Structure formats: C-alpha cells, structure tokens
Amino acid sequence: MKVLDTNFVQGFIRMCNDGYLQGWHERNGGNLSYRIKEEEINLIRNELNFNNNFVPIGTNVPKLGEEFFLVTGSGKYFRNVILEPEENICIIELDKDGENYRIVWGLSNGGKPTSELPSHLMNHEVKKTLTSGLHRVIYHAHTTNIIALTFVLPLEDKIFTRELWEMATECPVVFPQGVGVVGWMVPGGRDIAVATSNLMKNYDVAIWAHHGMFCSGENFDLTFGLMHTVEKSAEILVKVLSITPNKLQTISVENFRNLAKDFNVKLPEKFLY
Ligand code: 2HA
Ligand code: ZN
C-alpha cells in the first residue's frame, strides 16, 4: 500500500492543515508526531527504505526501541504539508535501545525530523507507559492566546488550570487532570524535553511560557480537540482580562464539584481551592 494512501498518514496531514488554519503554525512553528501501530507499518513495509544510517536522537527512550513514528520535518512549514507531504514529513525508526533513529520514508528533498524530537519522544515514552499504549499523538503548537497568558498569569499549574477551567463549562470534562506549566527554557534540547515529559506524568497538556503548548492524546481528533479546547478557553480569558481585571461571576468550586459528579470525572483536590 502507498504510504500516502493510508488512513494514519491522511489523518496526520489533515491535522497539520487544521492547525495551520487556526493560525498556530506561522512559518516553521510547531511540530507533530504519531507513534505508528504495528499493523499500519506492516501495510507499508515494502515502501520503506532501510538503507539510511542511524543518528543520535539527543536523548534516550529505551521503552520506544524499534518503534516507528510519523513526524513533521525540522524547518518545514505546516502550511506546505497538505501540498507536498512527502517533502515535509517523514517516518523514522528507532534502534533497539531507543538512542538513535533513521529516516525510512519522506523528507524527499532532504532534511531532518522536527527540532523538538527529544521532547516528542520523551513525551511518547511517558504516555506509552502511563496509558498502556493508548496515547499515540504528541502535538506542539504556537497557540496565540495561551502564549499571551504566560506574560500575565503566574506560571503555576494550579493558577492556569483554574483560570482555564472557569472559562468554559466543558473544560474540566475535556482536561480533568488540568494543565502543567514550565517557565521559559531554550527549545529543542534535552532539558526542555525532560521538564515537559515530567509534566506529562500528571497532565495531557504542557504549556511552555512565551512559546506554546504540547498536547498528548490517543488519536488525531482527541489531541487536536484538546489543543483547540485549551486555546479557545485561553482566548476567552484574554477577552475577559481585556475588558476587566475582575470577574463579576464565575464557575465556583461548588459548581465544579457538581459538574464532576454528573459527568463522572475526577477533578484533583489541589485545583478546587
Ligand atoms: O520551529 O516550534 O519549538 C519548530 C518549533 C520549535
Ligand atoms: Zn515551538
């Protein structure tokens, strides 16, 4: 089967374009990765090229040894993925120890996987373990309103979580574990990957101050939907704060407790202060 004809590649391309249309991927901003299922790799195995050399990931992810990932290319534009997918995205294979990768398909004009590969893979490793393999998508986007909020709210998980939950009734149902925040860090390296993957032990959403957001999920719909929900909530908060520094009314702690009961979600006590 042709790589480009598979459902997972088509879903990946659609998600890149949806993110671009939201305004989250100026220039080469943002990146996306998908941990490919064994049966999906088997469909395309004879289209893959196993002649490239393995090169270091920049971190080690032993629990992902020998897995395959579909990822966006470093320096490539989300805007172009739908037009020329084979030039802008690639499939990589990890070696047995999860220390090196090689490109087995795509980036047909040359290039490398996303500059945030260490963060993507360390997040995948945490989520694969915690969700017994259910989570397969890691998505990084430069979401305008979340970035704006990192200049005016204290960079604390409990402040961001409560403020975002209060902006839309569905929020605590969509991200009941809340969101994590890291202060400004140099992107692209192992340090920010370690900090982000630590947040991913507790949350499906990690905010990078003055930069953007990482989301994790089971599939493209859920992961895009999560990014979209958090960013929409941030947009409402930006509007509210632009109108007034003081909310006249909001969703109360008691309201959250009632919501959690009826929607059968567990909201951590630390956010119900
Ligand atoms: O340019 O978003 O964080 C890709 C990025 C780096
Ligand atoms: Zn970025």
Local confidence band at 202 (pLDDT 50, 70, 90 cut-offs): very high
Distances (CA, A) of 186 to 115, 152, 208: 12, 20, 10
Copy the structure tokens of residue 191.
Answer: 């340090």
Same domain, 260 and 144: yes
Dist. CA 116 → ligand 1 center (Å)? 7
What pLDDT is attached to residue 22? 99
Same domain, 138 and 87: no
What pLDDT is attached to residue 261? 98
DSSP 8-state assignment for residue 16: H
Instruction: Output phi, psi for 258, to 5 deg.
Output: -65, -40
Same domain, 93 and 183: no
148-174: average pLDDT = 98
Same domain, 85 and 164: no
Same domain, 158 and 217: yes
Dist. CA 27 → ligand 2 center (Å)? 11
Dist. CA 113 → ligand 1 center (Å)? 11
218 is catalytic: no
- In tens, the pLDDT along 122-131 reads 999 999 999 9
- Residue 123, domain member (yes or no): no
- Residue 190, domain member (yes or no): yes
- Residue 126, domain member (yes or no): no
Q: Which of 84, 115, 146 is the last residue of a domain?
A: 115
What pLDDT is attached to residue 109? 98
- Residue 7, domain member (yes or no): yes
Q: Which of 62, 88, 115 is the last residue of a domain?
A: 115
80-92: average pLDDT = 99
What pLDDT is attached to residue 198? 98
pTM of the model: 0.98
Same domain, 163 and 107: no
- Residue 172, domain member (yes or no): yes
Query: Is 11 near ligand 1, meaning CB less than 6 Å away?
Result: no
**61 near 125, Cβ under 8 Å?**
yes
- Residue 5, domain member (yes or no): yes
What pLDDT is attached to residue 72? 99
Q: What mean pLDDT value characterizes the chain?
A: 98
What pLDDT is attached to residue 23? 98
Local confidence band at 47 (pLDDT 50, 70, 90 cut-offs): very high
Same domain, 64 and 95: yes
What pLDDT is attached to residue 213? 98
Same domain, 84 and 204: no
Query: Is 115 near ligand 1, meaning CB less than 6 Å away?
Result: yes
Local confidence band at 101 (pLDDT 50, 70, 90 cut-offs): very high
Please state, in angstroms and rounded to a whole number, the distance separating the CA atoms of residues 105 and 12: 15
What pLDDT is attached to residue 107? 98
Local confidence band at 116 (pLDDT 50, 70, 90 cut-offs): very high
Same domain, 163 and 231: yes
182-211: average pLDDT = 98
Please state, in angstroms and rounded to a whole number, the distance separating the CA atoms of residues 217 and 205: 9
- Residue 2, domain member (yes or no): yes
Annotated active-site residue in 40, 67, 93, 116: 116
- Residue 55, domain member (yes or no): yes
Copy the structure tokens of residue 198.
Answer: 């630590």
140-152: average pLDDT = 99
36-65: average pLDDT = 98
Amino acid letter, residue 48: L
Quote the domain boundaries for residue 91.
Answer: 1-115
- Residue with CA at minimum distance from ligand 1 atom 1: 29
Best substitution site from 20, 27, 28, 81 to test ligand 1's pocket, by max atoms within 8 Å of Cβ? 28
What CATH number should be reported for the domain holding residue 190?
3.40.225.10
Q: What is the number of structural domains in the chain?
A: 2
Same domain, 111 and 208: no
Same domain, 160 and 262: yes
Please state, in angstroms and rounded to a whole number, the distance separating the CA atoms of residues 158 and 272: 9
Same domain, 40 and 167: no
What percent of the chain is predicted at pLDDT more than 70?
A: 100
